[in-house]
Structure formats: C-alpha cells, structure tokens
Amino acid sequence: MRLTPVFIFSILLLTACSAVPETDTQELTVVASTQIVGDVVSSISGEQVDVTFLIPSGTDPHAYEPTPQDAVRLTEADLIFVNGFGLEQTLQHLLVDQQAKVVNTSEGISPLTLVEEGESGSDPHVWMNPVNVEIWADNIAQALTEADPANAQIYRENSEAYKSEIELLDSWVADQVSQIPEENRKLVTDHESFGYFADHYGFEIVGAIIPSYSTLSEPSAGELAQLEAAINQFGVKAIFVGVSLNPTLADRIAQDTGVQLVSIYTESLSDKDGSAHTYLEMIHFDVESIVAALK
C-alpha cells in the first residue's frame, strides 16, 4: 500500500492532537526562617510546596548563627518567609541579597514597642497572640498565590480552614484563662516574649529575667534584684522559661523567691514526638501549663 502525502499528514495530525501535553509539575521551594513560621506556611501550602526552615528545633532564634549551607538554601529558594520585626537579625546579611523573594508574614500587624537604653524596639513575638497568626495566614496565602497562581484556590481554602482553627483556639484559650483568678494572672518570663499574649488575654507582665525582646541582652545584678522584689511583692506563683533558652538564671531566681519554674514553648516547637510539634499544639501546651501553674 502506497502512503500518500495527505494520508501521512493526517496521521501526524491525529498523533499530535492525541498526545498528552507536558506540564510543569515542579513544586515551589520555600524556606521559612523559624519552625513556627514554617509550620504555618506548611498548613497553608499543603502538598503543593516543599517547605523547610532554617533555625533548628530547640534553638534560640535570637542567637542562631547561620551556616554556609543556609546561604545556599536561601539562594535556591523560590520564596523566603520570615517573621519580621527584628527576630531574624542574625540572618539579615544573608537576606539582604534575597529581598525580592522575602515575605514578611507579620506585615499589617501593629507591633508592641519597648524602650531599651533610650531606643525603642518592636516586639517580634507576634505569634503569642493567635489572632495575629490569622494575618500570617492571609499574607502567606497571598504570596503563594502570586508565585503559583495555578493553585490559588487551594491556598485560599487552606488559609480559610486554618483561620477557622485559629478562631477555635482563641476561644479555647479565653475559656481556659477564665479558670485563673484575676489576682493570679501575673507573668514573669525569661525575656520579654509574652506581651501580645498578656494584652490579648488579660495578664499583667510583672517582669522578665532579661528585660529585652532579645535574649542576647544581659540583665544587671540590680535588675535581677528588682525582679525578685517584684515577684515577692506581687505574689507571683511561677516563672515561665522557653525550652530553647538557658534556664540557669531563672532557676536561681526561682530558688531565691520560692516560686516554681515552668518550661514552655515560645520560640521553638518540639520534635515530632513531643507535645508541641505544631503551632496550634504549642499554644495548647503553653496555656495548659500556665493555667496549671497559676489557678
């Protein structure tokens, strides 16, 4: 049988029409500065994005020293999600060349400020008020949508679902806090990390072992003496210390004042087998610890 040019052309045309077009299924590569930021990003992105974080579990983000490998990961990332408000100070020299893909999850949140040695600074611990993490969810979903519009609906739906979980969490926290007598709602922490939590849920911050938003500052002997006096004066029942921080000073003050020392999660999540592997679990764990110590 002799194949005519017309017949050959028809076969080729049918083959081209029936072929499955090649699609680019490569997922976004995303790096988050902290575990907490990374967990929320993962909740919004779902399986569409490969999310990793720089600062390891159990590490103080204020003191973390980045590695050369971190610089490579930031260069190769499609998006970089950060907390902002100065939390990633030690990473700034790496982020400065990546500004086009850096997403500040806290954009739109009004920061608390603290005057330290004549200079005011912004409190970066915005996640300690769950309502602020709803703003994170919106910012994350928006950034993912702009980078990957094909999956915009997934990001939007995941964001709305996550915000619903946050609303339930917020209501649960308020209910738990109501079990604490008002006169006992006094907090002493390792550093100034509970401002947003205290403002939202009606606690009084009596003081902090390190009177700074950063753990890199060092308290003077006079400041520690004043804190011990305040603990005794106001009848503080406990000192709360983040698991990622050195508890030596807190332990000494607890012994001097006779109050209990309570470990909580503030700037790092637990390992997978721990009680605070996700942000939502972290808030649950902390609130249960606070209520048990103060009620």
For the chain, how far is it from start to end, CA to CA, in angstroms?
Answer: 94
- Please check whether residues 109 and 185 belong to one and the same domain: no
Can you give the pLDDT at residue 247?
86
Q: Is 209 helix (H, G, I), strand (E, B) or coil?
A: strand
Tens-level pLDDT at each residue, the chain (295 residues): 444 544 434 433 344 444 433 334 468 999 999 999 999 999 999 988 999 999 988 888 988 999 999 999 999 999 999 999 999 999 999 999 899 999 999 999 999 997 665 667 899 999 999 999 999 999 999 999 999 999 999 999 999 999 999 999 999 999 999 999 999 999 999 999 999 999 999 999 999 999 888 887 888 999 999 999 999 999 999 999 999 888 899 999 999 999 999 999 999 999 888 999 999 999 999 999 999 999 9
In DSSP notation, 91-145 reads: GHHHHGGGGGGEEETTTT----EEEETTEEEE---GGGSHHHHHHHHHHHHHHHH
Q: How far are the Cα atoms of 39, 72, 113 from residue 213, in angstroms, in the given order?
A: 22, 29, 9
- Dmax over CA atoms of the chain, in Å, equals 105
Confidence (pLDDT) at 3: 47
What's residue 2's pLDDT? 47
User: Of 108, 102, 111, 96, which is closest to residue 137 (Cα–Cα)?
Assistant: 108
Cα–Cα distance, 136 to 166 (Å, whole number): 11
Spatial distance between the Cα atoms of 11 and 6, rounded to a whole number of angstroms: 9
Q: Are 90 and 70 in contact (CB under 8 A)?
A: no
Q: Is residue 129 part of a domain?
A: yes
Q: Quick one: 139 and 183 in the same domain? A: no
Same domain for 268 and 204 = yes
Tell me whether residue 15 is in a domain.
Answer: no
Q: Is residue 17 part of a domain?
A: no
Domain match, 237 and 150 both: no
**According to the model, what pLDDT value does residue 26 have?**
67
Q: Are both 162 and 187 inside the same structural domain?
A: no
Bridge partners of residue 205, in order along the sequence: 187
Q: How much is the pLDDT for 17?
A: 41
Helix axes 279-294, 35-45, angle to 10 degrees: 130
Domain identity same for 252 and 286? yes
Neighbours of 181 (CB within 10 A): 9
- 116 domain residue, yes or no: yes
> Where a domain ends, among 127, 156, 173?
173
Final residue of a structural domain among 173, 205, 236: 173
Count of structural domains, the chain? 2
CATH number for position 234: 3.40.50.1980
Rounded CA gap, 87 and 34, in Å?
10
Do 168 and 183 have their domain in common? no
Domain extent for 139: 28-173
Please tell me the total number of residues recorded for the chain in this structure: 295
Q: How many CB atoms are closer than 10 A to CB 200? A: 17
d(CA 199, CA 169): 17
How confident is the model at residue 59, as a pLDDT?
Answer: 87
Q: What are the tokens at 273?
A: 């087998």
Separation between Cα atoms, residue 120 and residue 113, nearest integer Å: 6
